[in-house]
Amino acid sequence: MTGIIDITSPGATGSTGTAGITVLAGGVGGARFVRGLRELLSSGSGGATPITVIANTGDDMWLTGLRVCPDLDSLMYTLGGANDEVRGWGRAGETERVSAELTAYGVGWPWFTLGDLDLSTHIARTSMLRDGLTLTEATARIAERWQPGVTLLPATDDEVETHVEIVDPETGESRPIHFEEWWVRHRAQVPAVRFINRGIERARATDAAASAIADAEVVLLAPSNPVVSIGTIVALPGIAEALRSTAAPVVGVSPIIGGSAVRGMADACLRAIGVETSALAVGEHYGARSAGGIIDGWLVGDEDVASVPHLSAAGIASAAAPLWMTDVAATAAMADAALALASRVAR
Ligand code: GDP
Ligand code: CA
């Protein structure tokens, strides 16, 4: 443990009681990182430091009449110990009988699997939303069952969905499709012209999410997709402002190691916004808080140690560490390195 989190002297404890560590996260990558952070903090002496996770909701959609929230569910299942470790997403021991029936009716997306166990989460969530709960409230109710050991907050209660403008390979015309259609059906192989946060004009981050940033002792950006996970959260009115004004150090962990997106297709997203697939370029894209950006510190992989002086020149404190989330222990060590960097920039 690094010492910045001293639970005997909690920082600015707001009425929400969220002092502790706040993490901005997408789905699978974010969930793995938070699991390591939770492990690190639970093994420390003096009791557990509270963790609040602000989850991306840009991947959410209405499908077969149900509200599906892929990133919230990845976080919930992984932290609740119910995820399929081999496949990397969804519930362990899953079956797909209902999905096959829905396909027979021509309902839903045949290329987007909704497992039977997973469907129960979507039904439960939709039922709560129909009863008038906000997504934040519904997520808290779902967490009562899974006990993720962190406070899980959707970044917004409003429906803001990531769409991708593509040039239709058949018609040659450009049109927007839902992010999940681009990602899962087309495997991000159809070039993205741009990303659209549909509904953002009417949306705001929740007060709970903004307060979790304002009241935190440390804010971490998980090594999640910089464009469609972290980028989508930061685009919500209220989030960037909170990141720029919080008294807490803000430290990000690179999702790019040695010029590679590790798992997944983040490079296709970065290409669309004109950012190179490198730890340095993503750090500079987030930018130093001292220069109007959103981070104070940027943890890169050992493979990218050469970028550290360049980041310093850009006003971003940087350090190199092993960033492969191979298992929980390795990920806990990575979270420890992020907190050490936070403690360096906090001084
Ligand atoms: P998604 O919403 O399920 O796509 O997950 P996230 O956005 O939270 O995380 C996906 C990103 O995690 C990928 O784009 C990778 O760049 C990153 N990632 C995956 N595995 C690792 C790893 O072992 N180490 C690091 N540093 N990044 C990783
Ligand atoms: Ca996602």
Ligand with smallest separation from the Cα of 36: 1
Ligand 1 binding pocket mutation candidate from 74, 224, 269 (most atoms within 8 A of CB):
224
Distance 14 CA to ligand 1 centre (A): 31
Six-digit token string for 151 = 């406070």
For 71, the token pair is 């990133």
Cβ of 257 below 6 Å from ligand 1: yes
29 lines ligand 1 (CB under 6 A): yes
Instruction: Give per-residue pLDDT as tens, 64-99.
Output: 999 999 999 999 999 999 999 888 889 999 999 999
What structural domains and CATH numbers belong to the chain?
Answer: 1-57+156-160+199-347 (3.40.50.10680), 61-154 (1.10.8.240), 161-198 (no CATH)
Query: Residue type at 46?
Result: G
Long-range contacts (CB closer than 8 Å, 24 or more residues apart) made by 172-180: 178/61, 179/58, 179/59, 179/228, 180/59, 180/61, 180/70, 180/109, 180/112
- Residues of the chain short of pLDDT 70, as ranges, are 1-18, 44-47, 347
pLDDT, tens digit (0-9, with 9 covering 90-100), for 111-125 = 998 999 999 999 999
- What are the tens digits of pLDDT across the range 204-255? 999 999 999 999 999 999 999 999 999 999 999 999 999 999 999 999 999 9
> If we measure between CA atoms, which residue out of 228, 56, 224 comes closest to residue 152?
56
The H-assigned helical ranges of the chain are 28-42, 70-79, 97-104, 116-130, 135-146, 179-180, 207-214, 230-235, 239-245, 266-272, 279-286, 308-313, 328-346
